[in-house]
Amino acid sequence: MQTLKQLSALLKSKQLSATELAQSYLDRITSSDLNAFISVNPEQTLAQAKQADARLARGDAGELIGLPIAHKDIFVTCGWPSTAGSKMLSGYNSPFDASVVEQFRTAGMVTLGKLNCDEFAMGSSNENSYFGPVKNPWDKAAVPGGSSGGSGAAVAGGLTPAATGTDTGGSIRQPAALCGITGQLVLRAMLRISLAISAIHSRA
């Protein structure tokens, strides 16, 4: 797996297009059995990738342009269902983006889809989702941690180079540890997190 920095260098040197990169990850998601993703929208993803390619062609120097990302389903996301892992919100489509999704999209990142999580981010194993449990890519009989288990499993499994998560009592840190990746818990003051579906107060 390549890092975000390495992928960014490939995009800027035109060795790879954002569209090609997005399609390669969509193909991996389709063939995966980790149940890390709740929903994908290839048409929407590739449209964002084409916009990123246009920005790169104009010489836009943004570090994140064209890089794929997937979002924990706790964040409302225009173009994808936003369910918080719950049957209660099954099929809900938000007309707007959560602030964190908006910020990454404005920076030029390409959304691959929405990631599985414990229902309303309440759990520590990612077995409590209406859409079924997420498998740990290192041992499919093991849990990936939660509640951001879909995020941890997707990054560790090579389905996305980056993912968002939320953390109230370890929901970023635990999946990062169990899936063997780096999870960054940022200060609330550093990031606007409005429009996240939440049962309790959470730090992004």
Q: What is the pLDDT along the chain (204 residues), one digit of tens a residue?
A: 899 999 999 999 999 999 999 999 999 999 999 999 999 999 999 999 999 999 999 998 899 999 999 999 999 999 999 999 999 999 899 999 999 999 999 999 999 999 999 999 999 999 999 999 999 999 999 999 999 999 999 999 999 999 999 998 899 999 999 999 999 987 665 555 555 665 544 444
Which amino acids are annotated catalytic?
72, 147, 171
Q: Can you give the length of the chain in residues?
A: 204
The bridge status of strand 68-72 relative to strand 110-115 is parallel
Cα 185 versus chain centre, distance: 15
On whether the CB atoms of residues 145 and 177 are closer than 8 A, the answer is yes
CA distance 46 to 21: 10
CA distance 122 to 104: 25
